[in-house]
Amino acid sequence: MYAPERQQEILRLARDSGRVDVVSLAEQFQVTAETIRRDLKTLDRAGLVRRVHGGAIPAVRLDFEPDLAERETTAADEKDRIAKAALAELPGDGTVIVDAGSTVARLAASFPGELSLTVVTHSLPVAARLADHPGIQLHLVGGRVRHRTRAAVDAWALRAYGEIRADVLFVATNGFSAEHGLTTPDLAEAAVKRAAMAAARRVVLLADSSKHAQEHFARFGDLSDVDLLITDSGLSPDDAAAIERGGTEVVRA
């Protein structure tokens, strides 16, 4: 396989899985790790991927936003592990806010049948998963519903979150880093996320490792605003340690 062919395949793999790593690529293509690093450097210079520790993630425009169906299939195994780990953060009773996002929707779908909680959400998919749960008192926040995410936004949603207090917020993000904080492509969704964070005593961020070092158009908080980040083992121990030095606990599921 010629280098351009290999690089095209690497790009496809990065876009399909959200992340590629040097060791796995070297094994797959039967070349040296240094060859893969040169390939990633070439793709990075072309603006097609962004190199991160141990591999690369696909580069996207700051305002690019995948639709809900695409999010559901991206990094599915990692999101399932994150959702399972997040179950330990559910309070025994009280109130939780569940943000809009594919990973938090997986968490909602895995809520135990014996759970007894008040749940507030502005996400239609999350509400649909919890509407028939026998132990949950569900509050659906209203507003303009965005087609891409099925999330309610704008004044009604902001007003609702301004009037409540919750024990825990499970929040999602499109990108997170120590430098740029928590970011998402849409300003209206960023405003609702910010309001939900202000309404919660404890903030738990659910984000797979492909979102690390990503940045998007609208910023809604700092990593220091997050009490606990639950991610997957694709986040390197060094990156996890750097985040913890900033005051955020990290769990790598």
Closest CA to 49 of 5, 7, 79: 7
Helix 33-45 with 3-17: angle, nearest 10 deg:
80
Identify the pLDDT of residue 163: 97
Mean pLDDT for each 10-residue chunk of the chain (253 residues)? 86 86 94 94 83 82 60 78 97 96 95 95 97 96 94 97 98 93 94 98 96 90 97 93 96 96
Question: Can you tell me the distance from the alpha carbon of 147 to that of 151, in angstroms, rounded to the nearest whole number?
Answer: 8
Q: What would the pLDDT profile of 152-183 be if each residue is shown by its tens digit?
A: 999 999 999 999 999 999 999 999 998 889 99
CATH label, 3-58, candidates 3.40.50.880, 3.30.160.20, 1.10.10.10, 3.90.228.20: 1.10.10.10
Dump the DSSP string for 21-65.
Answer: EHHHHHHHHT--HHHHHHHHHHHHHTTSEEEETTEEEE---TT--
Beta bridge partners of 166: 200
Identify the pLDDT of residue 59: 76
Which sequence spans correspond to the domains of the chain? 3-58, 68-252
Contact predicate 19/56, CB 8 Å: yes
Identify the pLDDT of residue 12: 86
CATH label, 68-252, candidates 3.40.50.1360, 3.40.50.970, 2.30.29.30, 3.40.630.10: 3.40.50.1360
132-133-136 Cα angle (round to 5) = 120
